Amino acid sequence: MTSNLRINADRLWASLMEMAQIGATALGGCNRQALTDLDRQGRDLFVAWAKAAGCSVRIDAVGNIFARRHGRDDAAEPVLTGSHLDTQATGGKFDGVYGVLAGLEVLRVLQENQIETDRPIEVACWTNEEGCRFAPAMLGSGVFSGAYDLEFAYSRRDRDGFAFGEELERIGYKGDQPVGGQRYAAVFETHIEQGPILEHEGDVIGVVTGIQGAYWFDLTLTGASAHAGPTPMSMRRDPWRAAAPIVNKALAIAEANAPWGRATIGDIKATPGARNTVPESLTLTIDIRHPDTATLEAMVAELRAFIDKSAAEHSLQAGLETVWYMPPTAFDEHLVGLVEAAAFNLGASARRMVSGAGHDALHLAQVAPTAMIFVPCEGGVSHNEIENAKPEDLVAGANVLLLSMLAVAGRA
C-alpha cells in the first residue's frame, strides 16, 4: 500500500470514450449487446490494447477473454480483475466497461514502469453479463464457476432464435481454451455503483462486502370474473382485495429490514384485463432482496404466510411460483480490508456497502477470494443511455484497484 504508482487518468478516460463509440446511441449511451458485430468490435479493440501492453491473450470456449501479464513466478496463482464489455440495448458508457478498462490501465502502468510482479496479473472480459440478448445474465462467468455447463450456454437463444453457440462462433470468439479450472489468488471487480448511495453520502469509494440475495416470484391470485356494474362489492371474489394488502405487506417487510431490505412489485397483469370487468385473476411479480441469508428467508416466510392469510380471507386461490433465486454472496474479508486500506492510503472517502445488483463477481466468489470496488454514478442512474460518472471518481476507483492488486501480486 506504500506504492506511489498511479494510473494515467487521461488515458483511462480516452479509452472509455473510444470504446463508447462502438455502438454509440443518439442519447450518449451504448447498444453493444452480447455476440453482435458491435460486441466483436469492442472485443477486438480490447485485445489489441492488451497485446500492445505486453500481454498474452487467451479465449475460452464460452468466449471469456483473459489478458495476462506474466509474473516472476508464472506458475503462481494469478491476481484477476475485469468485468464485461456487453451492454443493455439502451445502456451506458460505464457499466461493466469501466471494470475492464480500469484493469487494462493497471496492466499499462505496470508495463510502462517496467514493474515485475511476483504473481501474474490477468484482466478478464466476461461474456454476456447483461443477459439482455441471451438469458440468463452473467452467463460467461457462470460457466466459468460451474453454475452452468457449456452446452447450456450454447443452447440459449435470443428473441430472434439465434443460438448463443452459433453467434459466438460467428463473431470469432469461440475459443479453444477450457472454461474454468484455473485457481486465482484473488479476484477484484471495479464497477460504477448503479445506485444513489455513494453520491448521496458524498463518498468516492464503495468497499463492497457482498452481493444481496434475491428471490423472484410470480404471484397469481384467482377469484371470479364479474360485471363491474351489477355485481355488489360484498358479493365479489375480487383478487384486488388481497393484492393491495399483499403489495403493502411486501414493502413493509423490506422497510422493517432496513437498510438493506428490498421489495419491488415490477409488473402486474389482470385477466381478462377489461376496464369494466372484475378480474378473474391477477399476476404480480415480486422481487425480494437482502444480503443476509437468514434474514432473507425470514422475509420470504413472512410474506408467504401473509399471502395465504389474505387469499383465505377473500375466498381466493393463491399460487406463488419461484422464478429465480440468487443466494447472498459474502466477499473475502481479507480482500475487502485491502480495498478499504487502499482507499484510506489514497485519501479517498469510503464506506462499506452491499451490492444491490448481481455482477460477475457473484459467480467468481464461489471459486476464488473475491472483492468489489464501487465508484459513484450520477443520480444513481444505470442501464440507461444517460448513465454518467465523474472522471475523478473513475480514477480514484482505478487507483484503489491498482494498489489492491499490487498488495496481492507483490513486486518482484
- CATH code for 9-211+328-409? 3.40.630.10
- CA dihedral for 175, 179, 182, 187, sign (positive or negative): positive
Any idea which fold 213-326 has? Answer: Alpha-Beta Plaits (3.30.70)
Look at strands 121-125 and 79-83 and give their pairing. parallel
Instruction: Give the burial string for 25-54 (b: 16+ CB within 10 Å, else e).
Output: beeebbbbbbbbebbbbbbebbbebbeebb
Report the C-alpha gap between 152 and 120 in whole angstroms: 31
- Domains of the chain, by residue range, sit at 9-211+328-409, 213-326
Supply 302's cell numbers: 413472512
Q: Quick one: pLDDT at residue 1?
A: 67
Contacts of 283 (CB under 8 A, 6+ apart): 218, 219, 220, 221, 268, 269, 271
Q: Which residues pair with 285 in a beta bridge?
A: 218
Q: Quick one: pLDDT at residue 3?
A: 80
Work out the burial of residue 161: count CB atoms within 10 Å of its CB; fewer than 13 is exposed, 13-18 middle, 19 or more buried: exposed
Please give the full DSSP string across 176-239, using - where no structure is assigned.
SBPSS----SEEEEEEE-SSSHHHHHT-SEEEEEEE-EEEEEEEEEE---EETTTS-GGG---T
Q: Quick one: pLDDT at residue 412?
A: 78
- 9-211+328-409 and 213-326: same fold? no
Q: Which residues pair with 326 in a beta bridge?
A: 214
pLDDT tens track of the chain, all 412 residues?
Answer: 668 999 999 999 999 999 999 999 999 999 999 999 999 999 999 999 999 999 999 999 999 999 999 999 999 999 999 999 999 999 999 999 999 999 999 999 999 999 999 999 999 999 999 999 999 999 999 999 999 999 999 999 999 999 999 999 999 999 999 999 999 999 999 999 999 999 999 999 999 999 999 999 999 999 999 999 999 999 999 999 999 999 999 999 999 999 999 999 999 999 999 999 999 999 999 999 999 999 999 999 999 999 999 999 999 999 999 988 989 999 999 999 999 999 999 999 999 999 999 999 999 999 999 999 999 999 999 999 999 999 999 999 999 999 999 999 998 7
In Å, how far from its chain's centre is CA 200?
Answer: 21
Supply 331's cell numbers: 466477499
Which of 285, 252, 282, 288 lies closest to 270, judged by CA?
282
Helices (H), ranges, 314-390: 333-345, 360-364
